[in-house]
């Protein structure tokens, strides 16, 4: 049996998320169907990040096992053929050892959130960004972002449906970058709670709008109350960009 690692790019707009569910088509299920069509084998595909409904990926990583020993070209080209016309693409494929696990072997995940800060509605970036009409102060947002760094109890920044055993997570980096009307919020950590990045983004937007002060982030974390944090940012602005092993 051979284990394969794949790097996947996808537009998550019309999917229920990464994980297979009963209420609609997921990225995981789409990949498993494509593999079955190509190989006639029923496999389970394991992903590095369980992206929510509407979230996109530029560098999602997954693995699966096959009885057949196919070439890398056969895996990549074959899966891309059977995935058409879905907005899912295999960017890279390779053979890996049996001890590799897309989720548990990952050392760091990097997410990027895109905000378009302007009065006009979205056209080109529709379903790929959150348009915020009120002018945002990115210097204040950057100052506030520093309070997220480190190991904290992120109860205030987790979804009510989050099933993680512990609310403690370690954030390695948070950066807020502005390029004209585009604001990019990049967050790096080994793992995240459900909706954590989106709630962090929503809270930083509150800071940028002047509804919160940068120092308030520290108080919100210490409060351990979801009601104290900002709104959950829309899913369409979030991208899983990189998984590091």
**101 Cβ contact list (under 8 Å, min separation 6):** 46, 63
Closest CA to 110 of 158, 18, 173: 173
Q: What is the dihedral of CA 8, 50, 28, 105, to 10 degrees?
A: 70
**226 Cβ contact list (under 8 Å, min separation 6):** 155, 156, 157, 158, 160, 199
Q: Token pair of 46, please?
A: 């394991």
Please tell me whether the peptide bond between 85 and the residue prior to it is cis, using omega within 30 degrees of 0: yes
Catalytic residue list contains 52: yes
Measured distance CA(208)–CA(135) in Å, rounded: 8
Q: Which of 52, 65, 67, 172 is catalytic?
A: 52
Cα-atom radius of gyration of the chain, to the nearest Å? 19
Closest CA to 113 of 165, 45, 174: 174
Active site residues: 52
């Amino acid at each position: 049996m051979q284990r394969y690692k794949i790097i996947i790019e996808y537009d998550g707009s019309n999917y229920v998320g990464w994980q297979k569910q009963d209420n609609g088509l997921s990225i995981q299920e789409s990949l498993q169907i494509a593999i079955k069509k190509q190989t006639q084998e029923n496999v389970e595909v394991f992903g590095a990040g369980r992206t929510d409904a509407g979230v996109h990926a530029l560098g999602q990583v997954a693995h699966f096992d096959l009885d057949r020993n196919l070439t890398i070209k056969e895996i990549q080209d074959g899966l891309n053929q059977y995935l058409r016309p879905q907005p899912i693409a295999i960017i890279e494929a390779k053979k890996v050892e049996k001890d590799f696990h897309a989720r548990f072997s990952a050392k760091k995940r990097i997410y990027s959130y895109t905000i378009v800060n302007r009065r006009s509605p979205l056209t080109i970036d529709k379903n790929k960004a959150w348009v915020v009409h009120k002018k945002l102060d990115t210097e204040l947002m950057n100052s506030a972002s520093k309070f997220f760094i480190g190991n904290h109890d992120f109860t205030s920044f987790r979804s009510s449906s989050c099933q993680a055993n512990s609310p403690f997570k370690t954030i390695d980096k948070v950066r807020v970058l502005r390029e004209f009307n585009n604001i990019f919020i990049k967050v790096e950590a080994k793992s995240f709670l459900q909706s954590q990045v989106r709630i962090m983004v929503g809270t930083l937007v509150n800071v940028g709008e002047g509804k919160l002060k940068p120092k308030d982030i520290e108080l919100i974390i210490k409060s351990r109350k979801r009601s104290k944090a900002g709104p959950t940012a829309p899913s369409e602005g979030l991208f899983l960009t990189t998984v590091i092993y």
